[in-house]
Amino acid sequence: MPDKDLLFAALRRESTPRPPWVPFVGVHGGCLIGVSAPEYLRSSQRIVQGLRRAHELYRPDGLPVIFDLQMKAEVLGCELRWAEEVPPSVASHPLIAGGLGDLPPFDTGAGRFPVAAAVLRELKKDVGHKTALYGLITGPFTLTAHLRGHELFLDMIMHPEQVHETMNYCASIACATARFYREHGADVVAIVDPMTSQISPEHFREFVAPYVNRVFDCVRDLGAFSSLFVCGDATRNLEAMCRTTCDNLQIDENISLPELRSLAQQNNKSFGGNMRLTTVLLLGTENDAKLDAIRCIDQGGDTGFVLAPGCDLPYGTPPANLIAVAQMVHDEYQRDVARTLTASSLDRFDDITLPDYDALDAVTLDVVTLDSAACPPCLYMVQAVRGAIEKVAVDVVFREHKIRHRDGIGHMLRLGVRHIPTICIDGKPTYESVIPDVETLARAIEARHREKRGQ
């Protein structure tokens, strides 16, 4: 079950029995309910519907309310360009021709902020007791880029005082947005500042750190957890990011998770992210998603780690892939199964052969388990098999194939078993992850025996 207290423990850098899981559902919520990104992001009713569906399918410990980095820019006069399957992009930059005094006053009652407030209000009632809600804020540097455009990068060299003035203004806007989200029930306030991946560590320390720290301090004063979320390859700025005053750092697949873990631990930060968005979650298979989740879980460890994708989920991400990730999060047993199979993924098992079941007088029961000595479902299935054998008056061969060993994995693949544990009767998977009662299994054995004798 979702558990926001587990997430809070990780954000405090405490050990957790499993990794908390935060799928960053943005416009993907629109895909889940069959509407376009513009239809989704402009309607609180549709966002709530999409997030409810995501909550049902993915069993998250935390969910963002809206993943759209253009909401503040829209209120401040930036024109937006909308597309069917992505958040809007900024199409105009007011500070190219004007100054800060020419911008409209920032008002969280304007633009789509009332939509966000309505979503928070509904989700707080629906799932807020068990799932943490994230309010996402466009970082001061990215908002400055929205307002100023590409001229910002030259400004840092030619007009640094102007950049500081704008950054100070944008930090004030970010603090006002943090207060808005907190007042409406957000548990975590995350600064999403992807443009910081494009600058040097020196520029990060000069133009970014003082202003994001101001926002993080504001969030702390409001009694919420703070997070810094940077998409893109921000490796060169990783150490500087870890030295900010946030509680948590989130990264994408371009950054080494072990490297982040080391730096985060040195700076008393929780950390997370790093699942591969495109190659795995969007374009991969369920098995790819499971293996990438396990990679992150193993690299992240059990202290202060939050499993998440590296950025907001693409619109068309197959739900089955995210359901597979949720299974890895919530089921340690299935993680062990997936790890075992991964270790042997390149082995063709040509030396593993199956008998000619039809030619044998006895009925053969192949039971594929993780290990009945250590896995309760496997133990109970094996006990059911032994009990059924005692009840029947026919010859039965019983073989347990433990997939902790190579021979067991080979038999699992040869038998076509997809779930653990499974009972195969004469080579046919018959009870997959379902433990039959002794009487039912005994009748199935006897029926197979009659079939072999042509009766």
pLDDT tens track for 80-90: 989 898 888 88
Question: DSSP of 83-120, one letter per residue?
Answer: -SSS--EE---GGGTS-GGGSPPP-TTSTTHHHHHHHH
- Residue-averaged pLDDT of the chain: 91
Burial of 418: CB neighbours in 10 Å, binned 0-12, 13-18, 19+: exposed
Looking at residue 280, its pLDDT comes to: 87
Looking at residue 195, its pLDDT comes to: 77
CATH of domain 4-330: 3.20.20.210
Going by pLDDT thresholds of 50, 70 and 90, the confidence category of residue 267 is very high
Looking at residue 247, its pLDDT comes to: 96
Going by pLDDT thresholds of 50, 70 and 90, the confidence category of residue 346 is low
Asked whether residue 376 carries a pLDDT value surpassing 70, the answer given is no
Q: Are 247 and 11 in contact (CB under 8 A)?
A: yes
Q: Are 256 and 240 in contact (CB under 8 A)?
A: no
Mean pLDDT of 221-225: 96
Looking at residue 170, its pLDDT comes to: 97
What is the tens place of the pLDDT at every residue in 104-151?
A: 999 999 999 999 999 999 999 999 999 999 999 999 999 998 999 888
Sorted by where each begins, the domain ranges of the chain are: 4-330, 357-452
Q: Are 365 and 438 in contact (CB under 8 A)?
A: no
What is the tens place of the pLDDT at every residue in 149-192?
A: 888 888 999 999 999 999 999 999 999 999 999 999 999 999 99
* Nearest partner of 242 among 302, 304, 310, judged by Cα: 304
Going by pLDDT thresholds of 50, 70 and 90, the confidence category of residue 347 is low
Looking at residue 455, its pLDDT comes to: 60
List the single range of 57-61, 125-129, 253-257, 395-399 with lowest mean pLDDT: 253-257
What's the CA gap between 258 and 388, in Å, rounded? Answer: 49
Asked whether residue 342 carries a pLDDT value surpassing 80, the answer given is no
* Nearest partner of 195 among 247, 135, 245, 138, judged by Cα: 138
* Whole-structure pTM value: 0.78
The angle that helices 44-58 and 113-126 make with each other, rounded to 10 degrees, is 40
List the single range of 33-42, 243-252, 259-268, 410-419 with lowest mean pLDDT: 410-419
Question: Could you identify the residue written with the tokens 């619109």?
Answer: 315
Mean pLDDT of 315-344: 86
Q: Are 143 and 170 in contact (CB under 8 A)?
A: yes
Percentage, residues of the chain above pLDDT 70: 97
Fold of 357-452: Glutaredoxin (3.40.30)
Q: Are 352 and 410 in contact (CB under 8 A)?
A: yes
What's the CA gap between 35 and 100, in Å, rounded? Answer: 37
Q: Are 355 and 414 in contact (CB under 8 A)?
A: no
Mean pLDDT of 399-411: 86
Residues 6+ apart with CB under 8 A from 285: 321
The residue type found at 257 is: L
Looking at residue 381, its pLDDT comes to: 87
What's the CA gap between 155 and 159, in Å, rounded? Answer: 5
User: CA 125, 126, 130, 136 torsion: positive or negative?
Assistant: negative
Residues 6+ apart with CB under 8 A from 54: 23, 25, 28, 29, 32, 60, 63
DSSP 3-state of 425: strand
Looking at per-residue confidence, does 424 or 342 come out higher?
Answer: 424
What's the CA gap between 376 and 257, in Å, rounded? Answer: 33
Order of strands, sheet of 422-425, starting from the edge strand that comes earlier in the sequence = 396-402, 363-369, 422-425, 428-432
Looking at residue 1, its pLDDT comes to: 64
Q: Specify which residues 228 forms β-bridges with.
A: 191, 249
Going by pLDDT thresholds of 50, 70 and 90, the confidence category of residue 248 is very high
